[in-house]
Structure 1
Amino acid sequence: MTVRLRDAGFVTEEFIALGATTNRTPEQEEHLTDLKREMTQRLLRAGTSEVYELL
């Protein structure tokens, strides 16, 4: 079985950009941690079929 993450806003552009940033400042690290928590909550509230697409 192959699945992929749906493009439903679970992973934000801000998260991707900040995650790709090298040499993050302590403030950026803290913000990235906050973004991870927010994403986790979005994912946990959603049903599996809302998050993943069966290929």
Structure 2
Amino acid sequence: MLTNGSYRSILFEDGLNVVKGATDYKNTVITVTAKDKLNIKLASGGGWVARFEKIQ
């Protein structure tokens, strides 16, 4: 999906207390390349979103 270069990745994922409240989430910003792998953990009925912006 990603081409060569580095990307700023903004992640929104289930928070630690998501089973108690569906509005609990964690926001993380990391730098990735096409060779990186992301481990995604989802709660039952949970969700995950990522946005990738190429770094100039």
TM-score, length of structure 1 as denominator length: 0.24
Q: If each structure's strand is expressed as a fraction of its own residues, which one has the higher value?
A: 2
Q: Which has the higher contact order (CA 8 A, sep 6+)?
A: 1
TM-score, length of structure 2 as denominator length: 0.24
Q: If each structure's helix is expressed as a fraction of its own residues, which one has the higher value?
A: 1
